[in-house]
Structure formats: C-alpha cells, structure tokens
C-alpha cells in the first residue's frame, strides 16, 4: 500500500475499492470474451476482425493490470479468484455461443458500452478528489471509446456491403 496514495485520495475508500474491483473483474471477462471470440469467429472480414479482437483483448488485459496496480496502491486486494469475476461484474460476460462475426460484434458492442458507463462513473467519482485514479480511469475510458468506434465501424462496413450485394442481386 502507498501511504500517500491513500492519504491524498479524497474519495470514500471502500466505495472506490469496490468499484475498482468491479471494473477489474469486468476487464478479465472482456479480455476472455475478445480472446475466445477471436478463436471461434466465422463470417465476413474474419481475418481483419480477429486481429482487432486480439488487439482489444490485449488492451483489456492491460486495463486489468492498471486497475490491479491502483487497487494495491490504495491498500486493497484485487479479486483473488476467477470464480468471483462473474458475480462481481455488473457488465455481463457475453458467451460467444453463436460464432457468427455479426453476432460477436453485437455482443462486444454491448460490453464496450457497459465499460464506457463504468469508467464514466469512476471518472465522476474521482474528479478533483483522486487525481491518479481519475487519470487511469480517463485513459481507460478513452480506449473503450475507441473500441466502441472500431466495432461499430466494422458493423457499418458489413451492413453497407450487404446493401450493395442486395441491390446487385435485384
Ligand atoms: Fe477495458
Ligand atoms: Fe474495450
């Protein structure tokens, strides 16, 4: 624990550690969701989208690392057992039972939007009260917004190709 880290954080510690651990659990689930999605994906633009999923997976894992570092610095303990991730997380794990790319994109978009709401909340809680946690959560928020945009761009590309294909078919 960093003595000063805790001292200069003016947010209720229990509340802050609780939400940081929720986010931590969600990052591991997001990591696995992207990683597994990349293994099973089928359908249009598979290779490009799989590369993007693996890139996002690596970033979600990095987010888990950033949160774990901050939780420890604040005197907390990151969730010790993977079996708790799903019960603690408020953004739910979307099981890639249907491997079609369009379905995986939909699921990942739901998860990204949930993550954006989580980091917006942490940013609001820490604004002007805990500069370091605010800096970390704003950085993660920035990357989650990029993820949302990238997923949504793939959806748009597939939708417009489908439209052209349908028009040509008439
Ligand atoms: Fe993330
Ligand atoms: Fe993300």
Ligand nearest to C-alpha 53: 2
Mean pLDDT to the nearest integer, 78-105? 97
Ligand nearest to C-alpha 66: 1
> What residues have CB less than 8 Å from 137, skipping those under 6 apart?
23, 119, 122, 123, 126
| CA–CA distance, 101 with 115 (Å, rounded to integer) | 21
In DSSP terms, 156 is beta-bridged to none
User: pLDDT (tens digit, 9 = 90+) per residue, 41-75?
Assistant: 999 999 999 999 999 999 999 999 999 999 999 99
Could you tell me the distance, in angstroms and rounded to a whole number, from the CA of residue 25 to the centre of ligand 2?
Answer: 13
CATH code given to domain 10-169: 1.20.1260.10
- As a whole number, the mean pLDDT across the chain is 96
- Statement: residue 88 has pLDDT above 90: yes
Environment of ion ligand 1 (residues, CB < 5 A): 27, 60, 63
Could you tell me the distance, in angstroms and rounded to a whole number, from the CA of residue 112 to the centre of ligand 2?
Answer: 5
Domain boundaries, the chain: 10-169
| CA–CA distance, 133 with 114 (Å, rounded to integer) | 19
Are 102 and 158 contacting, i.e. CB atoms less than 8 angstroms apart? yes
């Amino acid at each position: 624990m960093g003595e000063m880290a805790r001292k200069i954080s003016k947010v209720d510690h229990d509340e802050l550690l609780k939400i940081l651990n929720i986010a931590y659990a969600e990052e591991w689930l997001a990591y696995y969701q992207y990683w597994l999605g990349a293994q099973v994906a089928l359908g249009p633009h598979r290779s490009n989208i799989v590369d993007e999923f693996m890139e996002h997976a690596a970033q979600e894992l990095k987010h888990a690392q950033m949160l774990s570092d901050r939780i420890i610095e604040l005197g907390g303990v990151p969730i010790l057992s993977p079996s708790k991730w799903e019960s603690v997380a408020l953004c739910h794990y979307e099981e890639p039972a249907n491997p079609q790319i369009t379905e995986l994109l939909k699921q990942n978009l739901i998860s990204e939007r949930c993550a954006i709401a989580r980091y917006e909340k942490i940013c609001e809680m820490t604004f002007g009260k805990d500069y370091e946690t605010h800096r970390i959560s704003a950085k993660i928020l920035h990357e989650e917004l990029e993820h949302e945009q990238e997923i949504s761009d793939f959806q748009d590309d597939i939708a417009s190709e489908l439209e052209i294909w349908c028009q040509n078919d008439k």
